[in-house]
Amino acid sequence: MSTLALDIDLLLQPWMPVRLGGIQLLAKSYFGDTKYQMLLSDMQSVWEEEVDADTIKERAQELNKRLRAPADAFFAHLRTVARPYLAGEPGAAVACSGDVPSISVVDLKPHRLTLRLKSELAGVPFYWEFRCSSSSVAVVCSQLVCPLLAVNSILQRQVAELAALLVRKDAEIQDYRESGAVLSRGRLQTEVFDELHYRENFITQVLPKVCVQQENFGFNVTLQELYAAVMALRPGYQQTVPPSTVTESGTPNRRVRDGQRPEEPASKKHRVVDDQQDGAQDDGASGTVVPKEDCSTAVTLGESQSTQTVPSNPVPANCGPPRPKKKKAAGLFR
């Protein structure tokens, strides 16, 4: 069985509708300290990839002959640039990296999906390929089918509770009317809720309109948060999930979910060598790439320098302003 089928870090990530290389996909990914895991689906096939530090360094050297750096330096840049794309927020990648990364499809088959990412690292073009293979049935069931069945069960219970609440509200309104209360604004008057009539009306009138809109893959923000919350609170995973990964409201902590660690100490800087002549390295003076608060980089080079250094400390991908919380609309009756 694939390790992705039982991986709790990846399981807690919601499925995100993304567009990669011109293809509409559902994606979920997890970037840890030295590895990443990802799942992609076009609703006909499901592909997966799990890459560790050794594979990252080997593939980076294969695709970038002019660059030399430790695996964590390559991974820091890859996480900064690729993670926003896999989260459906390509604009965040531009804000953090300073350049405009692009993704193209190299190979698309039922058993294989290869995507090429082009970006810029320390002023030098940087290439990466996501080489995904087809997922097993165990992975699809554990990461997609079973969680969605759990979410469906939660939504069904929610609908039943809301229907019961509407019935009680109708009884309350009827009691007011029998006591002589009169509605001051006629536009607020509603009919008595009939659950059977509502279901029939929904199937005949609303459902056809919803089924036409299939391009969004049906995963909005509410469903993504519900998916992550249901997975974090499942009985089989509560003991393996650290308490800091779930907030008091039951929603997983985004910083921990995304693989970020608060107040992460800065690590030592590493050298990136731009081989000018057949991979030869220059031992002259070196420059440094200094991370700024706005996630951009500054390169300082000497006259005869051919070496550059980049920090191995990952740059947080969530460098934009915090999103405002949505206020819940208050009903007429509390």
Q: How far apart are CA 68 and CA 187, in angstroms?
A: 70
CATH of 3-138, picked from 1.10.10.10, 2.170.210.10, 3.40.50.460, 3.30.565.10, is 2.170.210.10
Q: What is the pLDDT along the chain (334 residues), one digit of tens a residue?
A: 567 766 788 888 889 888 888 888 999 999 988 889 999 999 889 999 999 988 998 999 899 888 888 888 888 888 888 888 888 887 666 656 556 788 899 899 989 999 999 988 878 888 999 999 999 999 999 998 998 899 999 999 999 999 999 999 999 999 998 998 888 888 888 889 999 999 999 899 888 887 776 555 667 788 888 888 888 887 665 544 444 444 444 444 544 445 544 444 444 444 444 444 444 444 444 433 334 334 433 333 233 334 444 444 444 444 555 555 555 544 444 4
Helix (H, G, I), strand (E, B) or coil at 69: coil
Q: Could you tell me the two tokens for 294? A: 């706005």
**Backbone φ and ψ of 35, nearest 5°:** -155, 165
Q: What is the pLDDT of residue 226?
A: 85
Q: What is the pLDDT of residue 268?
A: 42
Q: How far apart are CA 275 and CA 277, in angstroms?
A: 6
- Give the pLDDT confidence of 53-67 residue by residue, as tens digits: 889 989 998 998 888
Average pLDDT, the chain: 74
Q: How far apart are CA 89 and CA 239, in angstroms?
A: 32
Distances 222 to 15, 110, 127, 210, 237 between C-alpha atoms, Å:
12, 30, 34, 17, 22
Which residues, 6+ apart, have CB-to-CB distance to 112 below 8 Å?
Answer: 47, 131, 132, 133, 134
Q: How far apart are CA 29 and CA 307, in angstroms?
A: 33
From the list 82, 80, 73, 75, the residue with the least C-alpha distance to 56 is 75
Any idea of the CA torsion for 325, 85, 126, 322, to the nearest 10 degrees?
0
DSSP code, position 324: P
Residue 303 gets the label, from left (phi > 0), alpha (psi -120 to 50) or beta, of alpha
- Give the pLDDT confidence of 170-226 residue by residue, as tens digits: 999 999 989 988 888 888 888 899 999 999 998 998 888 877 765 556 677 888 888
From the list 41, 37, 39, the residue with the least C-alpha distance to 23 is 41
Strand partners, 134: 47
**Domain positions in the chain:** 3-138, 145-227, 269-311
- Give the pLDDT confidence of 18-31 residue by residue, as tens digits: 888 888 899 999 99
Helix (H, G, I), strand (E, B) or coil at 44: coil
